[in-house]
Structure 1
């Protein structure tokens, strides 16, 4: 089993570790945290034993384990992933892996030079339900005429922001906002299903902190457009849709997809059977481990290309909206 170190002791790292346990894909051996107390609490909650703790990042990355999973604030992804790759670690980094396409290009180059893997953890594209969507799209590709993806969810940190606090997810310092959180899922939807867009336009609703609380994005393709609605300051229960002329594939949303329907011209709606794991990170854990164990370079290169296009599209969207991160000033 592949030995695993993690950066970040939050709910998403806990969910990923549970996924690796359930699927027996990785084995947690090392934990990095800024404080030893947090690391110990995290390990206790997972009922783990014999886990090595470090509060020094350089020391942590010099330790003997194969792969590091990074789930820190967005703006820290690049520097931490860069150090990990330089230390010969395989890297699984939460989406978005970087704040700029320049940063992503550096990480991609380092991974190849050091003969290690770099994965962006866009977990939903590995799930059986997304693969079913891809099958339907491929079957009806000749009729494909556009899509609308919606993913709006009131953030658990927004009340703190409104109260005058400064949560990382709502600051330009940490590359926060709706597009770089929930919007990543919907851009992955478009890129994996339809390829690289020809043009990107983002109309953002800005918060006083400088990040986008919500917004609407248009990805233009040669024969159709994809319209995307994202937000962290309000809830939406709108379905997402992929259009095939008279018929429509319905997704319950554009990110955490749980149900599919097919609607025809006569308004007949048919359920499309599929499966969904209780832990949405199971599928990506299995796939990343499989690629490494089998040295499946074909699939790996495809995933890396998706990540490259997504990160480029994110930056193009930001530029079109005038959304500036502190990471941009470090170029």
Structure 2
């Protein structure tokens, strides 16, 4: 039985815990929130007797858990993951795992000293069967001529921003913005399917505080380009596509892969969609569970390293995109 501690009490944490309960082999034991009442109220939603904490040091020192799931504001991911590793806990951290490559390097160095620990970035769609199906189809293409990937969803927090407030997801202090929140899905797509680009440029629409509300990124590869279209200040219903020599891989949404089609030169459609789970976190939780339950397996350790290598590459591309657009976070200055 894997004992789980969680940092954060939002909807995404609940979805993750629901997934662990559906998969099985997990027990929620510890919940951290800045407000103890909130932590305890959240814990009561689930079976068992999870303990609430409001002090992070106490959470890590006294909490009875093996694995911590971190779903706090982006800027806190690094420090909390570092503290978890030093406390000898396995880590599952929501994307983006870190704000910049400097933070990522620190975590990698710590992990090299703790060979028995596992560290996962919770990029849920990266583990889905439809994601793998698309990767396999791309490999079959004799020539790739590019891709257009879209994920644009209006944020309820944008109304607060327009009212003069500064929610975490729209704050450079908390490493927010469209690229970090939604663009990361598309960067994962591009890096996993095509590799690391030779050049990455971002053209954002900046809000009053300099953060990006939406934008377009161009990733340049030898012989083709990949266009990423994402945002939190508008809704888009455009599909996403990968282009071959006449054939096209079509997907309803590059971050929420509910339907995938292979369209030939004549326009004939072949539905290649794999089964989709009701809870989108089920597949990643299954993968994390299998690895953690056989943590002594060299094959599982290598699997984690493979996933981590992609996370490091995604982190680098995300940083390069931000730098091209002169978008800086508070955390960037802490390593200068």
Structure 1 and Structure 2 fold alike (TM over 0.5) = yes
Which interval holds the TM-score relative to the shorter structure? over 0.9
CA contact (8 A) 1:182 1:230 kept: yes
Listed as ranges, the gaps of 5+ residues in structure 2 are: none
Q: Does 1:205 align with 2:205?
A: yes
Aligned partner of 2:311 in structure 1 is: 307
Q: How many residues align?
A: 329
Deviations 1:23-63 (A, max 9, x none): 014221111111121112212233x2211221110111113
CA contact (8 A) 2:28 2:48 kept: no
Aligned partner of 2:235 in structure 1 is: 235
Deviations 1:236-286 (A, max 9, x none): 011100111101000111111111112222222222231110000011111
TM-score (normalizing by structure 1): 0.97
Aligned partner of 2:221 in structure 1 is: 221
Aligned partner of 2:119 in structure 1 is: 118
Aligned partner of 2:55 in structure 1 is: 56
Q: Superposition RMSD on alpha carbons, in Å? A: 1.1
CA contact (8 A) 1:151 1:253 kept: yes
Aligned partner of 2:95 in structure 1 is: 95
Aligned partner of 1:183 in structure 2 is: 183
Label 1:239 to 1:25 Cα distance change in 2 as closer, same or farther (>3 A): farther
Residues in 2 aligned to 1:49 and 1:292: alpha-carbon distance in whole angstroms = 21
Compare 113-122 and 264-273 and name the one that shifted more.
264-273
Where does 1:246-261 land on structure 2 (aligned, <5 Å)? Answer: 246-261=246-261
Where does 1:12-51 land on structure 2 (aligned, <5 Å)? Answer: 12-46=12-46, 48-51=47-50
Residues in 2 aligned to 1:72 and 1:25: alpha-carbon distance in whole angstroms = 24
Does the residue aligned with 1:39 lie in a helix, a strand or coil? Answer: helix
Compare 263-272 and 282-291 and name the one that shifted more.
263-272
CA contact (8 A) 1:68 1:91 kept: yes
TM-score (normalizing by structure 2): 0.95
CA contact (8 A) 1:78 1:98 kept: yes
CA shift for structure 1 position 168 = 0.5
Residues in 1 aligned to 2:138 and 2:4: alpha-carbon distance in whole angstroms = 35
Residues in 1 aligned to 2:152 and 2:236: alpha-carbon distance in whole angstroms = 5
CA contact (8 A) 1:151 1:231 kept: yes
Aligned partner of 1:285 in structure 2 is: 285
Listed as ranges, the gaps of 5+ residues in structure 1 are: none
Residues in 2 aligned to 1:285 and 1:39: alpha-carbon distance in whole angstroms = 22
Residues in 2 aligned to 1:184 and 1:59: alpha-carbon distance in whole angstroms = 32
Residues in 2 aligned to 1:54 and 1:312: alpha-carbon distance in whole angstroms = 34
Residues in 2 aligned to 1:267 and 1:131: alpha-carbon distance in whole angstroms = 23
Where does 1:127-166 land on structure 2 (aligned, <5 Å)? Answer: 127-140=128-141, 142-166=142-166
